[in-house]
Structure 1
Amino acid sequence: MSTIHLSEKDDVKYLDGVGPKTLKALISLGIKKISDLILFLPSFLINKTMLSNLDDVKSGESVLFIGVIKKVFRTKGYRPNLIAQVDIGGSIIQIRFIHKIIIFSHLNTGDRIRFSGILYKKNSLSEIIHPEIEKIKEGDNLELVTPYYKTKKIISQNKIRKLIKQSFDVLKNNGNLYDIFDDNFLKKFDMPEYSNAVKYCHFPCNNYDSANKNFLISKQRFILEELFAYKFMLNKNLKNTQKNFNLKIKIDEQEEYELINNLPFKLTKSQSKCLQEIKTNFRSDQYLKRLLQGDVGSGKTIVAAFACYYVVKSGFQAAVLVPTEILCEQHYKTFKSFFSSLNINISILKSNQTKHEKDEIMNAIASGQTHIVIGTHALLYNYNQFKSLGLVVIDEQHKFGVKQREIIIKDESNNKLQIHQLFLSATPIPRSLSLVLYQGLDYSIMDEMPRNRKPISTYISNESNNENIYSHISEILKNGGQVYWVCPCINYTENIETQYVLDVYEKLSKIFNNFRVGCLHGQQSNDENRKSINDFTSHNTDILVCTTMIEVGVDSPNAVGIVIENSERFGLSQLHQLRGRVGRGDKKSYCFLVHSDKISAIGLQRLNALKNSQNGFVIAEEDLKLRGSGEYLGQKQSGNNKDFILATAQDAIYYHNHIIASEKDLKFIDKNNINILMERWNKTDNKTIEL
C-alpha cells in the first residue's frame, strides 16, 4: 500500500522503514495504527540548550555533552561491547554500547558528536551506557529541544521520531489532521487545535520554555480528548448491552425466604440492601453490571452466593473467578457449606489440577451437570465450555486485567446475550473517587459488620519495643490463640531495611520455642503454601510468619493476633485488610503495628488513623485527606488502571467537572467525528467502533 493514501486507522506496517522487527517492537509498545503513533506522546522534552559540566554532575544524573571521538574499539569475548572514548574539552567520557553494536559501527576516530544519557562515575572513570548520539559538524544548526519517548529501549529514539514524522506528514498531506471539535468548543475548554497540539508534542520549537509550555497544554488536550472518548464508549456499551439483553432471572421469594431462615446467622442490613439491589437488576430489562464494595469481613461472599443461587434456579450456570488458589479454596468451602441442603453442584478449577481432573470438571460444566464453578486464572482458558453461563462473579476484580475480565464475559454459549456481571472488592475507596473510577457500573456498599464481630484492639509500637510485643503474643498463645506475623519482603533487598520472612521465622522459632511456628511466602510451591495454611487453620501451628499473601482468602476464627512489621511501608487500606484477618471468631483480637525509628510524622498520623477506626470507608477518607488524590491513587491504581492509553485515574478525577460541563456541547458533535474519536482511543482489537 502506498503511504500516500494512508489514514490514521491504517496499520503501521504500511509505513516506510517498518519491517518485521520494527513492527514487533511497535506492537509491544501498543502501537498498531497510524493514530497510535501520533498519540504516542513524549514523556518530557529534553533541553539541549545547556551542556553539562562534568565536575558538577553526580553519578546517576542525566547529562548532555559535545565532544570528539579519540578512540573506538571492541572488547573481546562471547558478547563484545563497542566502546568509544570522547574528549569533551580536556576530559574523557567513555561511552559503551552493549546491544546491537553493529548499528554504531559508523562511529570513527575524529567524529564530532553530541550525546546524552545517564552518567555513571566510578573512581576516575566516567561512562554512559547506550547514550542517545548524533554526529554533528561545526556550525550545524542543532535541534535544541528534543522529545523523549518511553520506548523500553526496544526501539531507538531516532527511529520512533522518524516514524512519527512520517505519519504526521502523510496525514497532513491527506487532509486527515482536522479537528473533530469546533472552534467554540476548543476555546471553551482552552484546548489547542489538533494539528498544532501534535506539532507541539512531537516537533517542539528551539525555545525550551515556550516549547515546554506548549507541550504541557497539548498533552492536557489529548488527555481530555481521551476522557471524552471514554465517555462516548461507556454510553455506547450501555446502549448495546440494553439492545442485546434478554437473559431474565426469576426469583422465587418463598424459596429465598426459607434459605435465609436456614442460615446459621442473620443477614446484616447492608447484606439485605445489596441483595435487594441485585434482585432489582435481575428483574429489570437491563443486565447486572454491579460493583459490590464491602469492608473487610462484611460478608460479601454470602451476597455473591445468593446471586449465584438466583441464576442457577433460573436454569443458568454461574462462574466465580478469584485471583489466588488460597481464596479459591476458601470460597469453595463457603459455597459447599451454603448450598449443602440444595441440589446445586459446585466444582473447583485450579491450575495445579491434573489434566484428567480438569477434563472431568469441564465435561461436567459443558453438560450442565456443574451449576457453579469457582476457579482461578485456569477458568479463563476454559471459558467457552459452559452449557449456559448466566453470571460471572469476579472477586478482587482489580487483580485481573481488563482483557482477562472480558475473556470470560464473552462466553460462546450465550453469544447473543449479555452475561450478568458482579464485581467484588474488599478495598474501600472514598465515595468522591468511586463516582469517577467506577463509571459504567452500578455501585453497592457494604459497610456493616456481622453482629458477633468484636472490635480489634490496635496498638502502635516502635521496633525497639519488640520485647513488649513478645510478651503480649506469649499471653495470646498460652490462652490457645493463634497469631499472624506479617513481613513486607522475602529476601534481602539493598537499601530497604526491613525484617524478612525467613529471618523472622528463624528468630521467632527460637523466641517461642514452646510453640509451633509456620512459614508462608510466594517463593514456596503451591503445595507447600497449601500445607502451611492448612496447618494454621487446623491449629497444627501457632504462629504463621508470612507475607501479604494472607491479605485475602485466609479465614481462621482462632487467629486472634496479628503483628505487622514495618507497617509504615503499607498503604492504609492494605493494613486494614491485613488487620481483618483476625477478629473473625468470638474472642477478643489484637493488631500490633510495628514501625521503624525513621517513621515520618505523617506516617505516624496514618497509623493513628487506623488505630482510631474500624471502618474501612472512614479510613479511606482519612487516607485521602492525608495524602491527596495523586498519591492515594498512585497506591490504589498503580498497574491496575487498564482503561486508558494516556490518561490516568488521577486525570479522571481532576477533569471530572470538565467532562460533566462538556456533556451539552458533546451532543452536537457529528456522529462520524464521534466514531473517529472512539476509534482513535480504542484499545481493544475491535476493527470498528460505531454508534
Structure 2
Amino acid sequence: MSVTTLSNNDTLQKLDGVGPKTLESLSVLGINKLSDLILYLPSFLIDKTALSNLDNIDSGEKVLLIGLVKKIFRTKGYRANLIAEVDIGQGIIQIRFIHKIVIFSHLRVGDKIRFSGILYKKNNLREIIHPEVEKIKKGDTLELVTPYYQTKKLISQYKFRKLIKLAFQALDTNESLIDVFDSNFLAKLNIPNYTNAIKYCHFPDNNNYDTAQKNFLISRQRFILEELFAYKLMLNKKLNSLPRNYHLKINIDKEEEMKIINNLPFTLTKSQSKSLEDIKINLKSNRLMKRLLQGDVGSGKTLVAAFACYYIVRSGHQAAVLVPTEILCDQHYTTFTSFFSSLNIKISILKNNLKSAEKNLVLDNLLSGQTDIVIGTHSLLHNCNKFKSLGLVVIDEQHKFGVKQREIIVNADSQTKLQPHQLFLSATPIPRSLSLVLYQGLDYSIMDDMPKNRKPIETCLINEQNYEQLYEKILSIIKNKGQVYWVCPCINFTENLEAEYVTGVYEKLLKVFSKYKIGCLHGRQSDYENKKSIDSFMNHELDILVCTTMIEVGVDAPNALGIVIENAERFGLSQLHQLRGRVGRGYQNSFCFLIHSNKLNEVSLERLNVLKNSQNGFVIAEEDLRLRGSGEYLGYKQSGTNHDFALATAQDAILYHNLIIESEKELKFIDNDKINILLERWNKQNEKNIEL
C-alpha cells in the first residue's frame, strides 16, 4: 500500500511493511500511532566509520566487521540454532542465532554482510551470538553513523530504522512538526527547532561521527526541555486543583516525644532527626502530606515511620502501614509493638494467613476505633476499606506497589471524609517517584547517614566460572561466625531458562559445605517450613540459607555477613540493592557477591558495576532511570517505554528543572493551541492519571 501523506494521529497500519506481528511489537513498545514512532528517540549513535581489528580485541568486547558468508547450517533439537561462518579476511568468525532462525533465514552463502556484537573467544573458536546484521548489496551506500533504539529485541535495528524513514517520508511535516517555542527562545538556549531536532536524532550526519554526535546531544537537550515543559504545565494544573485548607488537626506533645527519644537504646542520626522535623512541619500545616522518605537499608526509616504514626495516633486518628511481604509484616509488628509498649497504643496485624474470625475482629476494631495502628500486607488492600478516622498511610518498600494499589488504601472510607497523610518509604526510589520529587509532586527527606560504626558492604563481581574462589570466601565468612544468604532466581530447574535454582544449589552446597548447616527458603514450601527456616537462620542455627528473593525485605539477621546472588544480571538494580541490604546490619565487615554470566554484555556489566561502586540509593536510582526507563511519569505505569525517551538521568532532570524555573516566563508566551500540541505530544492530556 502506498501512502502520500499521513498525520500524527494516523495508525501505523498505514505504513508499508507493518503487518499484525510488527504492529503488536510496536504496541508493546508504546508505539501506536505515527507521532509515537517519530518521538521514539534513539538512545545513542553508533560509530561505524571504522572496522574492528581482531588483533586488538579481547573476548567480551564489541566488534564491527564486514565479511562474506561461507557456510550456513542449522543445529538439530529443541533449541535449534542457525549458525553462519563468515570470512572477514582475518579468518573465520562464527555467528549464531538462537530461536531466531526465521528472522535470519534470508542469509545466503556468498552474501556480503556487515555485522556487530560481542565477540567471544574460546580456543580457536571466535563467535558472536545474535549480532546485528546488514546485507551489503552492490551499489549500496553504507550508513556510517546509525541511531540505536531500545526495542527490547522485539524488532531488529535495521527494520526499526526503516520504519522511521517510511514514517518521516509519509508525514505531513507542515501539520505534524510544529514547534511550540519561538525562534528567539531557541536562539537564546542555542537549541535546534523541532524539525531539525527530529532529523538530527533519526537521520544523523553519515559523513562525520563527531558532528552527528554534537547535533544529537543538542537535539536531545531540546526534547528534554520540551518534555519538562509538558510535565510542568500539567503538574501545575494539578497542584492548583488541590485543596488549600486541609483540616486534619495534629497535636504533638513535645514533652512525651522527648521522653520516648531519650529512652531509646541509641541516639537518633542527624537525618532521622531532620526527617522527623520535616514530617512534623507537614502534619502541622494546612496541606496534605505526601512525603518520600529515602534511605539505604538499615538507615532507620522504620523508626521514623513509627514516630509519624505516633503523632497521628496521639491526635486521635489511626494509621495504616502497608508492607509487601508477611516476613516484613511480622518484623514491623514486633518492632512497633516493642516501640509502643508503654504508650497504650493498640496495634493490629492483617495478613493472608489469619483466620476469618481474626480478620473480622481486626476490621471491626478499625471501624470502632479500638485499633490505632494496623500493619498489613496486600490483605490490607483487599479487606480493609473502612476506618473510624484514618489519618496516615505509610507505604513501606513503595516500589513494590503500583499506583492503583496505593490509591486503594489512600481512598479507604473514613469518618474524617479527608484523604489521609501519606508517607512513602524506599531504600531505592523507583524512577517514577524520583521524577515526581523533581516535579513538585512529592516532598522528600533523604536519610544519607547510617548508625555509628556501621561499615559499608564490599560488593564483588564474580564470573560464573570462578566458583572455587567464591567458596573460599564463603568458608572464611562462616569460620568468622558469620552467616550467608544464597539467592537464586528460580526455585526449580526450568528448561528454557539458563539460571541457577534453589533446589539444585541447595543440593550442591550440601556437598561443598558438608560440615555446615544449610537451610532452604522458597515460595513452594509451606508457611510452616519457611517460618522454621527463617527462625533457624535468625537464631544462628543455620550457616547458609539458600533462597529466592523472599528475603529481599523483612529479614534482619545481624550475623549475616555475606550474600551471594546467582545470575545477578537477571535482577533489576533496585532489587539487587535491596538484597544487598540484607547484610551489613551489624558492625562487622560484610560482603555481597554478584555471580554473573561469562557472556555478559556491556550494558549488563555496566549495571552491575553501578552496584559495585555505589551504596547510595539516589545514585542507583539515577542509573535505573537511565538504563531501565522512567515510565510514564504522570500516569499509572511504574516504568517502561512510552513517551519518556528524552529524559535519561536524574542529573538531566535537575539541570532542566532549574532551567524551567528560570525560563518560567516563556510559558506565558505559548498560546493555548501550542500548549495543547505540547501536552498531546508528550501524552500528558489525561489529568486523572496524575498522582500527587
- Tell me the residue number matched to 2:603: none
Matching of residues 124-273 of structure 1 within 5 Å: 125-173=125-173, 175-209=175-209, 210-240=211-241, 242-243=242-243, 248-251=247-250, 265=263
Aligned-pair CA distance for 1:248? 3.2
TM-score (norm 1): 0.68
Q: Which has the larger radius of gyration?
A: 1
- Pick closer, same or farther for the CA change 1:308–1:151 going to 2, 3 Å: same
Cα 1:208–1:227, aligned 2, differ >3 Å: closer, same or farther? Answer: same
Residues paired across the two proteins, number = 617
The equivalent of 1:476 in structure 2 is: none
In the TM superposition, residue 186 of structure 1 has moved relative to its aligned partner by 1.8
The alpha-carbon deviation at position 634 of structure 1 amounts to: 3.7
Q: How far apart, CA to CA, are the structure 1 residues paired with 2:183 and 2:338?
A: 63
Shift of 1:467: 11
SS at match of 1:236: helix
| CA–CA separation in structure 2 for the residues paired with 1:412 and 1:628 | 31
**Could you say which residue in structure 2 is the equivalent of 1:592?**
589
Aligned to 1:332: 333
Alpha-carbon offset, residue 320 of structure 1: 1.7
In the aligned structure 2, how far is the partner of 1:334 from the partner of 1:236?
41
Equivalent residue, structure 2, for 1:647: 648
CA distance in 2, matches of 1:263, 1:630: 31
User: Do the aligned partners of residues 122 and 35 (structure 1) sit closer, same or farther apart at CA in structure 2, a change above 3 Å counting?
Assistant: same
SS of alignment partner, residue 588 of structure 2: strand
Distance 1:163 1:635, change over 3 A: closer
1:261–1:546: structure 2 CA closer, same or farther, 3 Å change rule? farther
Change (3 A) 1:168 1:380: farther
1:605 is aligned to none
Which whole-Å CA distance do the structure 2 matches of 1:179 and 1:545 have between them?
59
Distance in 2, Cα, partners of 1:307 & 1:91: 68
Q: Distance in 2 between matches of 1:15 and 1:126?
A: 40
From the superposition, tell whether residues 655 and 280 of structure 1 become closer, same or farther in structure 2 (CA, over 3 Å): closer
Which structure 2 residue ranges, 5 or more long, are not aligned? 459-469, 491-497, 500-504, 594-612, 634-643
Residue 152 of structure 1 aligns to a residue whose secondary structure is: coil
Matching residue of 2:351: 349
Evaluate the alpha carbon distance shift between residue 119 and residue 434 of structure 1 in structure 2; reply closer, same or farther with a 3 A threshold.
closer
CA contact (8 A) 1:42 1:201 kept: yes
The 5-angstrom pairing of residues 92-107 of structure 1 reads 92-107=92-107
CA distance in 2, matches of 1:162, 1:636: 28
CA contact (8 A) 2:65 2:116 kept: yes
Paired with 2:579 and 2:120, the residues of 1 have a C-alpha distance of 39
- Contact 2:13 2:23 (C-alpha < 8 Å) held by counterparts: yes
Q: Tell me: CA distance 1:405–1:7, structure 2 relative to 1, closer, same or farther (3 Å).
A: farther
Asked whether the equivalents of residues 81 and 97 of structure 2 are also in contact (C-alpha less than 8 Å), the reply is yes
Distance 1:261 1:628 in 2: 32
TM-score of the aligned structures, taking structure 2 as reference length: 0.68
Distance 2:110 2:12 in 1: 38
**Distance of aligned partners of 1:365 and 1:224 in 2 relative to their CA distance in 1, 3 Å threshold:** farther
Distance 1:172 1:327 in 2: 56
Displacement after TM superposition at 1:426 (Å):
5.7
Deviation per residue, 1:67-111 (Å, 9 max, x gap): 3x4555544445654445555569555544443534444444554
Matching of residues 383-402 of structure 1 within 5 Å: 390-397=391-398, 399-400=399-400
- Per the alignment, do residues 409 and 630 of structure 1 end up closer, same or farther by CA in structure 2, a change over 3 Å counting? same
**2:263 is aligned with what amino acid?**
F
* TM alignment of 1:5-154, pairs within 5 A: 7-8=7-8, 12=12, 17-52=17-52, 58-60=58-60, 61-67=62-68, 69-78=69-78, 80-88=80-88, 92-122=92-122, 125-154=125-154
The secondary structure found in structure 1 opposite 2:175 is: coil
Q: What is the CA–CA distance in structure 1 between the aligned matches of 2:110 and 2:397, rounded to whole Å?
A: 60
2 CA distance for matches of 1:133 and 1:542?
Answer: 52
Q: What residue in structure 2 maps to residue 581 of structure 1?
A: 585
Mapping of 1:270-285 within 5 angstroms? 277-285=278-286
For residues 2 and 689 of structure 1, the distance between their equivalents in structure 2, rounded to whole angstroms, comes to 40
For residues 217-616 of structure 1, what are the structure 2 equivalents within 5 Å?
Answer: 217-240=218-241, 242-243=242-243, 248-251=247-250, 265=263, 277-293=278-294, 300-308=301-309, 318-336=319-337, 344=346, 346-350=348-352, 353=353, 360=360, 372-377=373-378, 379=380, 390-397=391-398, 399-400=399-400, 403=403, 406-408=406-408, 411=411, 413=413, 418-425=419-426, 439-444=440-445, 485-486=483-484, 510=515, 525=525, 527-535=528-536, 539=539, 541=541, 553-554=554-555, 563-564=561-562, 581-582=585-586, 590-593=587-590
Identity %: 55
Name the CA shift for 1:119/1:550 in 2 (closer, same or farther; >3 Å): closer
CA offset at residue 197 of structure 1?
1.2
Q: Which moved more, 1:647-656 or 1:635-644?
A: 635-644
Letter matched to residue 141 of structure 2: N
SS at match of 1:146: strand
Q: 1:315 to 1:17 in 2, by over 3 A?
A: farther
The CA distance in 1 between the partners of 2:452 and 2:55, in whole Å, is 63
Whole-Å separation in 2 of the counterparts to 1:335 and 1:381: 23
Match of 1:662 in 2: 663
Question: Deviation at 1:287?
Answer: 1.0
Instruction: Tell me the secondary structure at the aligned position of residue 42 of structure 1.
Output: coil
Shift of 1:202: 0.9
1:489, 1:501 within 8 Å by CA — same for their partners in 2? no
CA contact (8 A) 1:521 1:529 kept: yes
Q: Contact (CA 8 Å) 2:234, 2:687: kept in 1 or not?
A: no
Answer with 328-337 or 653-662: which moved more: 653-662
Post-superposition offset of 1:20: 3.9
> Structure 1: how far apart are the matches of 2:232 and 2:29?
24
How far residue 348 of structure 1 moved from its aligned partner, in angstroms, is 2.0
State the SS of the aligned residue for 1:421: strand
Aligned partners of 1:55 and 1:454: how far apart in 2? 52
1:403 to 1:170, Cα distance in 2 relative to 1, 3 A: farther
Question: Does the 8 Å contact 2:295/2:617 carry over to 1?
Answer: no
| Residue type of the alignment partner of 1:443 | Y
Deviation at 1:393, TM superposition (A): 0.9
| Partner SS for 1:175 | helix
1:646-666 Cα offsets, whole Å, 9 max, x none, are: 322232345554344333434
Paired residues of 2:71 and 2:86 also in contact (CA < 8 A): yes
Mark the CA change 1:680 to 1:128 in structure 2 (over 3 Å): closer, same or farther.
Answer: same
Q: Distance in 1 between matches of 2:204 and 2:452?
A: 62
Cα 1:207–1:424, aligned 2, differ >3 Å: closer, same or farther?
Answer: same
CA distance in structure 1 between the aligned counterparts of 2:617 and 2:301, rounded to whole angstroms: 29
- The residue type paired with residue 221 of structure 2 is Q
Q: Check conservation: 1:81, 1:98, Cα contact below 8 A.
A: yes
CA distance in 1, matches of 2:616, 2:690: 39
Aligned counterparts, 1:620-635, within 5 A: 633-634=622-623
> What does the per-residue CA deviation read over 1:372-415, in whole Å, with 9 as the maximum and x for residues that have no partner?
44233555566867788653212233x43664665546637589
Distance in 1 (alpha carbons) for counterparts of 2:304 and 2:127: 61
Report deviation, 1:263. Answer: 9.1
